[in-house]
Amino acid sequence: MNRLHITGTVCKPAKLETSPSGIEHLLVTIEHRSMQPEAGMNRQSYVKLQLVMSGEGLQHWLQKLTVGSEVHAEGFLHRHEDNNGLARLVLHAQHLEQI
């Protein structure tokens, strides 16, 4: 199963892009910080992650998702490769809410 739920803080302005096939993609970068139990101790967890939402009607998120906004996202992880061939994990958010 490939499913991720995460909360975080928007750390870069959201961007809306349109693919060559005409599909809108909302790009949002979030930071997550928390304490997680591991081996009987607490471990500080830090993740910086890009979220991608695809489809229609994403324009309204640009005004809502300002730097510092708290969000909860749910979706699946996917490998994206940049122009230099460097790979990274990206969360394809199928559900996003501001908290």
Q: Write the CATH number for 43.
A: 2.40.50.140
pLDDT score, position 18: 93
pLDDT interval class at 16 (50, 70, 90): very high
For tokens 């961007």, the residue is 15
User: Could you give the 3-state DSSP secondary structure of residue 63?
Assistant: helix
pLDDT score, position 83: 85
Range of the domain at 90: 4-98
pLDDT score, position 57: 87
Quick: pLDDT tens for 18-52.
Answer: 999 999 999 999 999 999 999 999 999 999 999 99
Quick: pLDDT tens for 51-94.
Answer: 999 998 899 999 899 999 999 999 999 999 888 989 999 999 99
Residue 68 host element (H or E): none
User: Could you give the 3-state DSSP secondary structure of residue 64?
Assistant: helix
Domain count, the chain: 1
pLDDT score, position 36: 96
